[in-house]
Chain A
Amino acid sequence: GENVEQHPSTLSVQEGDSAVIKCTYSDSASNYFPWYKQELGKRPQLIIDIRSNVGEKKDQRIAVTLNKTAKHFSLHITETQPEDSAVYFCAASLGGGSNYKLTFGKGTLLTVNP
């Protein structure tokens, strides 16, 4: 089955700096890649997603890039703010029908220091 690796496990940045989190996946048939933000004790919230027919997607300070050949995708957060502090999870799925269960990475704890 699908396996998703996520790095780093922890990331500490100064407010205003950029943060980058990287993920690799194993199943070349995967075609949907969401990123979730989870604050302590809260539900995972979708912040951005990308599908395999797109190489990059941006939403304000957040961007995601996908390299299907290398089977990796990355989350980029610019101008970080203290409220960006949380655990971020990448995930992958085959998409469609009964195959779009998500396989998650182990998460990255992002700390933005004021």
Chain B
Amino acid sequence: GAGVSQSPRYKVAKRGQDVALRCDPISGHVSLFWYQQALGQGPEFLTYFQNEAQLDKSGLPSDRFFAERPEGSVSTLKIQRTQQEDSAVYLCASSPVAEEETQYFGPGTRLLVL
């Protein structure tokens, strides 16, 4: 079946612009995670949703980062007033149920802030 999809795959933004990154999890998956992967590094946790509830946002680096999942399926990660340090790959992952640890990753959105 279809895996996790993300769009856009690439995004170039000028410093100060707002961006919105979309994640379509595997159909029926309850849990959704966002991670940030800097060049040459491992992914770092940003935030977690269980259905529409955002249960953990401890990894969001600043109040410029905001995530939502209003209907418990598609999620959007929004970054306001982008800075050069926001340049990274943003990965989304989903899991079928709350108690299932296995996470399936999307291809990521590569964000470049100039």
A residues bordering B, Cβ < 8 Å?
4, 6, 32, 34, 36, 42-46, 49, 51, 89, 91, 93, 95-98, 100-107
Residues in A with CB closer than 8 Å to B59 are 101
Pick from B42, B48, B56: contact of A105, CB under 8 Å? B42
Q: Are A44 and B105 in contact (CB under 8 A)?
A: yes
Q: Chain B nearest CB: distance from A3 CB in Å?
A: 12
Assess whether B91 is interfacial by the CB under 8 Å rule: yes
Residues in B with CB closer than 8 Å to A104 are 42-44
- How many chain-B residues does the 8 Å CB contact rule pick out? 26
Assess whether B104 is interfacial by the CB under 8 Å rule: yes
Assess whether B55 is interfacial by the CB under 8 Å rule: yes
Residues in A with CB closer than 8 Å to B56 are 98, 101
Closest 5 CB pairs of A and B: A104-B42, A98-B55, A101-B45, A32-B101, A43-B105
Q: What are 18 sample pairs from A and B whose C-beta atoms fall under 8 A apart? A: A32-B101, A43-B4, A44-B105, A91-B42, A93-B101, A95-B101, A97-B98, A97-B99, A98-B55, A100-B101, A101-B45, A101-B56, A102-B43, A103-B45, A106-B41, A107-B40, A107-B41, A107-B42
Q: Are B50 and A101 in contact (CB under 8 A)?
A: no
Q: Chain A nearest CB: distance from B22 CB in Å?
A: 15
Complex: chain B residue closest to A51, CB-CB: B101
